[in-house]
Amino acid sequence: MARIEVKSEITGTVWQLKAKPGDQVEGGDVLIVIESMKMEIPVITEDGGKVVEILVKEKDPVAEGQVVAIIEE
């Protein structure tokens, strides 16, 4: 099974977790919402599968390109 790293496109702070380990997700689903510069930017998975790990928690700072979740196809 392929492990897929889901990355944040932007630098900001984790505002909401929309998925948890064990969840089945589809391509296009929002996993996490990042708040940056007064905007909410969703972290969307391109691939469907099972969420293995969410690597951040609410209020955590994240950097552009940082891996924030792992999905298993």
Partner 1 sequence: MFKKVLVVNRGAVAARVLRALNAMNIPSVAVYSEADNHAPYLEMASQTFAIGPAPARESYLNQDTIIEVLKKSGADGLHPGYGFLSENAGFAQKVIDAGSRFIGPSPKWIDAMGHKTRARDIAAQYGMPMSQGSGVLPDDNDAILAAARKIGFPVLVKPAGGGGGIGMLPAKDEAELLTAVERSRSMASRGFGTSEVYLEKLIERPRHVEFQILGDQHGGAMHLFERDCSTQRRNQKVIEEAPGPLIPRDKAVGVADQIAGIMKSMGYDNIGTVEMLLGADGSFNFLEMNTRLQVEHGVTEEVTGVDLVRAQIRSAAGEKLADILPGKPEIKGHAIQARVYAEDPKNFFPSPGKLTVFRPPEGEGIRIDTGYAEGRDVTPHYDPMIAKVIVRAATREAAIDKLVEALDGFDIQGLKHNIPAVVNILRSGQFREGRVHTGIIGEVTGKKI
Which of positions 14-33 make contact with partner 1 (CB under 8 A)?
A: none
Q: How far is the CB of 5 from partner 1 (least distance, A)?
A: 19
8-state DSSP, 66: -
Strand partners, 17: 32
What DSSP state is assigned to residue 10? S
The Cα 9–Cα 49 span in angstroms is 20
Q: What is the per-residue binding string for partner 1 in 34-73, x denoting contact by CB under 8 A?
A: -xxxxx-x-------------------x--x---------
> Which residues are near partner 1 by CB under 8 A?
9-13, 35-39, 41, 61, 64
